[in-house]
Amino acid sequence: MGAMAFCCLMSFITGCIKNDIPYPRIPQNILAIAARGESAPAEIDSINYKVHIALEEDANIAEVRFTEFVISPEAHSDVNLLEGTYDLSQPLFVTLSLYQDYVWEITATQTIERYFEVEGEVGASVVDAVAKRVVVTMPEGTDLSRLTLLRAKLGPAGITTMTPSLDPGPLDLSYPLQVTVTANGQEEIWTIYAELTETIVSTTQVDAWSMVVWAYGSGPAEVVNGFEYRKTSESEWHEVPQEDVVQTQGTFSACIRHLEPLTEYSVRAVSGADKGNEVIVTTEAIADIPDGSFDQWSKTDAGMWQPWNVDGERFWDTGNRGSFTVKVNITTPTDHTATGSGQAAKLESKFVSVFGIGKLASGAIFTGEYLRTAGMDGVLGFGRPWKLRPTKLRGFMQYETSEITRASADFADMKGQPDSCQIYVALTDWTAPYEIRTKASERQLFDPNASYVIAYGQLTFGGTQNGYVPFEIELNYRSTSKVPTYLQITSTSSKYGDYFTGGESSVLYVDEYSFDWDY
């Protein structure tokens, strides 16, 4: 994702370097890998020599058959993954060798949707796939021998049998019920329990962001459930509008909006006339995006533009360090701004070459650092430390598209089509800046579907605008409880610049980036 063709730029060898080391260290990589039954393309981490494969729920994780296995051209693998099947219920180690050994770890995960729903239960049944048990909670006084099962699924869809059959209808849980669950030739013995509770409604989880709070609760499925909240400094409770409450059987959740940052709130679940336990949380701060106005620039003695003051904070970077090997800036400041004052960033796609030999370079500005140029390709460190959870990225943009004239072999059919720009924002749980490589044999790009992404949003546009227009990109969160560690914002004049594909005169102007914190 995100065109990083600014990373591609040329580094020309002007002399010969004698290498007295008899065995050079050349990392050997898995370039492509695929397996039957995968639910998404494999994640390949060529920095840490790891591969992760996500499998569909009906795949047999103990007998995985690979359909693609491509490694560095001169490498030798101690295992031919294209032969036979492999048990990925535990890590698989593959050694690639060329002068030295490089041990790759291949892991797989499999998400199986399981549920067990009983009429009148309090909250959702606990389905414990590790202990192979289900716990159903019913109100005090319920006759456990005369329950009604609404639906049950304890294994992969389409290939699972359960004995005895758990069909909707009468269910006796006055004593534990054992069920044999069979799928992919494997048998599991599950035990179904029921317990009684005097607690009708519970506040099970509360996640506080800066100006919104996410609340979760459990209660009887047949009544109106919801939430109330108040500042702890006040006595009056406020009801969350029912249209903001999402209920699935006995579990329910809500986004409580329009709150104040750095403020202590009390939240409780409500079920009919019953009140749940109070949970006290404090909302987070809000923060500006450092130099979101793109006003801070400096120039090296040689003439290369950098998006920071000489002694200022370095939050943004560009691919100019790559392009300037041939004295070309592809990202520059401009006084053509959205507000009529200050500076903005001008991103241009250009064919950067010497004697006609080169590649398409996409102008871009991103949070992070240009690390180095490796041969004809750039290596970047993506991300800046960040712990807050905004809801939207706002800004102003102006784009002037052009016909795609340069394309790599995989994108050759795009020639002649209009180019597109792209702006994306992501929050991740990286432990360090994420290394981006564009070299085909070592390629590692940002993947919005990767497990390290907590929230993501993007904008792609392929037309021409006569002036600045405002935009907003909503961040779609995959978890309300995970706290991010890094922020990634990338803007580029050619969406497929990572693959050296785009129009030679596409131009994107960006200005005045900021975050929203409410919905």
Token readout for 346 is 């001008």
pLDDT tier, 353 (very low <50, low <70, confident <90, very high otherwise): low
Query: CATH number of the domain at 5-9+288-516, out of 2.60.40.2230, 2.40.160.60, 2.40.50.100, 2.60.120.890?
Result: 2.60.120.890
- H or E element at residue 323: helix 320-323
Which is nearest to 440 in space by CA: 148, 72, 36? 72
Those residues whose C-beta lies under 8 Å from the C-beta of residue 237, and which sit 6 or more positions away, are: 228, 229, 230, 268
Q: What are phi and psi of 498, to 5 degrees?
A: -55, -30
Q: Which two tokens stand for residue 10?
A: 């040329």
Class of domain 30-110: mainly beta
Q: What is the pLDDT of residue 17?
A: 41
pLDDT class of 181 with cuts at 50, 70, 90:
very high
Side-chain-side CA neighbours of 220 within 13 Å: the count stands at: 18
For residues 504 and 405, the answer to whether their CB atoms sit within 8 Å is yes
Q: Which tens digits make up the pLDDT trace of 131-149?
A: 999 999 999 999 999 999 9
- The whole-number average pLDDT for the span 276-294 is 97
How does DSSP classify residue 61?
T
pLDDT at 12 over 70: no
Query: How does pLDDT run across 382-398, given as a tens digit for each residue?
Result: 999 999 999 999 999 99
- Break the chain into its structural domains and give their ranges: 5-9+288-516, 30-110, 123-197, 211-282
- pLDDT band at residue 4 using 50, 70 and 90 as cut-offs: very low
Please report the pLDDT score of residue 325 as a whole number: 80
Q: What is the pLDDT of residues 183-236, one digit of tens each?
A: 999 999 999 999 999 999 999 999 999 999 999 999 998 889 999 999 999 999
E-only strand ranges, 184-308: 186-197, 202-208, 213-218, 225-231, 238-239, 245-248, 251-256, 264-271, 274-282, 298-299, 305-306
Tell me: domain 211-282, CATH 2.60.40.10, correct?
Answer: yes
Q: What is the mean pLDDT of the chain?
A: 92
One-letter amino acid at 318 equals T
C-alpha atoms less than 13 angstroms from C-alpha of 493 in its C-beta half-sphere? 35
> Is pLDDT above 60 for 322?
yes
Give the number of other CB atoms < 10 A from CB of residue 146: 11
Per-residue pLDDT of 108-127, as tens digits, reads: 999 999 999 999 999 999 99
Give the Cβ contact number of residue 409 at 10 Å.
8
Amino acid at 84: G
Topology classification of domain 123-197: Immunoglobulin-like (2.60.40)
pLDDT at 323: 86
**Predicted pLDDT of residue 2:** 45
pLDDT tens, 355-385? 455 688 899 999 999 998 876 678 999 999 9
User: What is each CA distance from 415 to 60, 176, 352, 461, 508, in whole angstroms?
Assistant: 42, 65, 18, 17, 20
User: 218: exposed, middle or buried (C-beta count within 10 Å: 0-12, 13-18, 19+)?
Assistant: buried
> In this structure, what token pair is assigned to residue 304?
């290369």
Q: 59-105: per-residue pLDDT in tens?
A: 999 999 999 999 998 899 999 999 999 999 999 999 999 989 999 99
Number of CB atoms found within 10 A of residue 353's CB? 15
Domains 5-9+288-516 and 123-197 belong to one CATH topology: no
Cα dihedral 358→359→365→367 (10° resolution)? -100
Contacts of 357 (CB under 8 A, 6+ apart): none
Q: Is the peptide bond preceding residue 164 cis, with omega within 30 degrees of 0?
A: yes
pLDDT, tens only, 448-507: 999 999 999 999 999 999 999 999 999 999 999 999 999 999 999 999 988 889 999 999
424, 2 contact by CB (below 8 A): yes
